[in-house]
Structure 1
Amino acid sequence: MVQKKAHEVDDFLAHPSRIYPVILIYGTDNGLVSERANLFARKTGINIEDPFSTIRLDATDIDHDTARLEDEARTFSLFDGGRLIWIRNAGTQKGFANAVKWLLQKPPEQTFILIEAGGLKKGVALRNVVEQAANAIALPCYSDDARSIDHLIDDVLSKFDLRISLDARDMLHKNLGADRMASRGELEKLCFYAKGKNIIRIEDVSEIISDVSTTSQDEIIDAIISGNVSTLNNNFDRQQSSRTSLFIILHAVQHQFQKLQEFRFIMDTENKSASAIVSSARPQIFFRRQKLVEHALLCWNAERLARAMERLYTVMLESRKNTELAPAIVRQNLIALAVEAARARR
């Protein structure tokens, strides 16, 4: 049985071993699962941008065609360095678990099988298969504790060459930790805001967090995910007139799309309806927005949501580099997201 404790995962990821060709990264912190999967993929030395070297699959597809995993794993690489089969959205699929079990009886020598999954309870087939195999390893990911949050703060701030006061750090502790990706995004937003300063103080943290007008942000977000370009433009103009920070707007939109990703993952892996997910969401979604979020979940599939998140991260960087053009850059890209939503609703 090979399973790392939560605090041992980072050490293993720093030095991947071919002793374990099958790696399962799972947990309730979807952002941390994604971050660690990307770290592992880069550490393998395999070109993750080359479609011949890195094959990206969905666990649901393999669940319906169990032979596909075996076929992909036995395909030889055209280049030195081996291959990576990167599988997302794994969960309770029995067919997929059986495919992994069959593969582990004679695992490939030059191929890594990287599996991303959500929270897997003890006894779930996939987790049992991996934990009981001598040539596979399970890496759990849970919400950050105080020590992990400190490490994350230091990691992000070091990339921006920034320091932080003790009281500002304490305030961050109260607002971070539920999801690694969201926490990292919050810290990067803060660093962009404080760029040019030597040290981040509590006033910076307080301003960037408290400067959000929830009602106005919801109107912009709802216009984007529902595909209402006219409403989006009107509310964006209103935000600009009130001199609301573009970073605040972008962060609010990012946060909504992260939640949609989380909800969509549950839809795809646990076969729950959009209405069931929205009604049971915590914190609770305001009742007037529930139907809109339900419709958004039906229109925005996992692939569209991934593209949207990539676009938003790029916009955050580009708007910071080009401050004079930032309002136009942000508006144009938010409109592009709204247009995509409108097309998906047809």
Structure 2
Amino acid sequence: MSQKKAHEVESFLKRLDRSYPIVLIYGPDKGMVSERAERFIELTGLAKDDPFAVIRLDGDAIQAEPGRLADEANTISMFGGDRLIWVRNAQGQKALADVVATLAKDPPPDTFILIEAGDLKKGAGLRGVVEQSASAMALPCYSDDARGIDATIDEMLTRYRLQITLDARTLLKESLGGDRLATRAELEKICLYAHGRERIGVEDVRDIIGDASAVSFDTIIDAMLVGNIGDFTRTFDKVINVGSSSFMILSAAIRQFQALQTLRYGMEVGGANAASAVAGARPPIFFARKKLVETALQRWTTASCGRALQRLQKTVLESRRNAALAIPIIRQTMIALTAEAARAGRR
């Protein structure tokens, strides 16, 4: 089968392998897909802005006009040399998969076909066609794991001649990894912020990394989980007053309760205490939040987490039906949950 495992993709993209003129780069990490597509184009030696050598097509356009890809692939270059057909936004378009299957059986000479796609099911449609072909290669792109994030951090630090403290690196890794291009953008931002110094510290990361509102969201949710009504009302009102979305706060609360419920379930089934549950959490909990999460686990059971999630989901629906009252609706629900945590702490 013509596919690379996630950890083999980097080595494949170090040199151009002409035995695979059709390359599918796919996965949920759109930033990584885009970055690796750029690298493949660099390997071909073709200029992206050369309209005679690089033909850009859209997956939906091929679905509407299936013959277009085949026509372009079999067109002879006006000036000779290699050509690249660059297909973007591919998903589950059946017509695209059918055309690629035909081209893979008899690839046109001196023509590369690069396809960028989202997350594709194993063995189905376009991905299945490419994986079963001897002249095509499938390259998966999944969000960076801890090792991948460390490598990207080291690469950027070397480029800017900076060092980083262990605590700052830990905080960085907690904040990065969802999208490769976003990760690089955040790292570049913090490296520029620290320009002129030798080392990046925790405060630098807190000042710069990620969306400022995201940090505030964590503060809001943490206050709610342990029942600190004063901190909750102060941070919630502050974030709303600067124009942040109340729906984003609500979404963050749902995610945190889901994670808390999973940890609590492990405690109730396995008999572990809160400290052990936090220590064994995957992905790891950032060191600065460990004590707080331990406290939250002592105040919320699996059942009460489930009730909280039901209430939050109901609030999503109510706030969307009454958009003009979304903020007070969301605030009321979250204050009620904060009060519940406070009562549990007094028992």
Which residue number corresponds to residue 50 of structure 2?
A: 50
User: Do 2:186 and 2:209's aligned partners in 1 also have CA atoms closer than 8 Å?
Assistant: no
CA displacement, residues 237-257 of structure 1 (integer Å, 9 cap, x when unaligned):
xxxxxxxxxxxxxxxxxxxxx
Over 3 Å counting, the alpha-carbon distance change for 1:291 and 1:61 in structure 2 is farther
**Aligned partners of 2:186 and 2:210 also within 8 Å:** no
**DSSP 3-state at the match of 2:12:** helix
The residue that corresponds to 1:171 in the other structure is 171
How far apart, CA to CA, are the structure 2 residues paired with 1:139 and 1:132? 13
CA spacing shift, 1:220–1:76, aligned 2, 3 Å: farther
* Shift in Å, 1:209: 3.7
Structure 2: gaps (5+ residues) = 217-238, 247-315, 325-347
For the aligned residue pairs, the C-alpha RMSD in angstroms reads 2.9
Partner residue in 1 for 2:243: 219
Q: 1:151 to 1:143 in 2, by over 3 A?
A: same
Matched with 1:272 is none
Distance 1:119 1:291 in 2: 32
Query: Unaligned 5+ residue runs, structure 1?
Result: 223-283, 293-346
- 1:117 corresponds in structure 2 to 117
1:207 equivalent in alignment to 2:231: no
Does the 8 A contact of 1:45 with 1:81 survive in 2?
A: no
Residue in structure 2 matched with residue 141 of structure 1 by the alignment:
141
Return 203-212 or 149-158, whichever deviates more: 203-212
Question: What is the aligned partner in structure 2 of residue 94 from structure 1?
Answer: 94
Q: How far apart, in 1, do the equivalents of 2:14 and 2:69 lie?
A: 26
Deviation (angstroms), 1:163: 2.2
Conserved? CA contact 2:55–2:86, under 8 Å = yes
> 1:72 aligns to what?
72
Shift of 1:75: 1.6
How far did 1:217 drift? Answer: 9.7
Residue number in structure 2 paired with 1:38: 38
Query: Equivalents in 2 of 1:47, 1:290: separation in Å?
Result: 51
Residue 127 of structure 1 corresponds to which residue in structure 2?
127
Q: Structure 1, residues 3-27: CA drift from partner, whole Å, max 9, x if none?
A: 1011000000111211000000011
Structure 2 distance, partners of 1:197, 1:285, is: 49
Letter in structure 1 aligned against 2:42: R
Deviations 1:214-239 (A, max 9, x none): 647973899xxxxxxxxxxxxxxxxx
Identity level (%): 54
Native 8 Å contact 1:46 1:81 kept in 2: no
Query: How does the TM-score come out when normalised to structure 1?
Result: 0.61
Which whole-Å CA distance do the structure 2 matches of 1:172 and 1:289 have between them? 37
Do the aligned partners of residues 82 and 197 (structure 1) sit closer, same or farther apart at CA in structure 2, a change above 3 Å counting? Answer: same
Tell me the alpha carbon deviations over residues 145-183 of structure 1, each in whole angstroms, 9 at most, x when there is no partner: 111001111222223232222221111111111111221
When the two structures are superposed, what TM-score results if normalisation uses the length of structure 2?
Answer: 0.61
Larger radius of gyration: 2
- Indicate if the aligned counterparts of 2:56 and 2:86 stay in contact, CA closer than 8 A: yes
| Structure-2 separation of matches of 1:202 and 1:112 | 46
SS in 2 for 1:114: strand
**Matched residue of 2:13: which SS?**
helix
Quote the offset at 1:134 in angstroms.
0.3
Q: Note the alpha carbon deviations across 1:253-283, whole angstroms, 9 max, x for none.
A: xxxxxxxxxxxxxxxxxxxxxxxxxxxxxxx
Q: Secondary structure at the match of 2:89?
A: strand
Q: What is the number of equivalent residue pairs in this alignment? A: 232
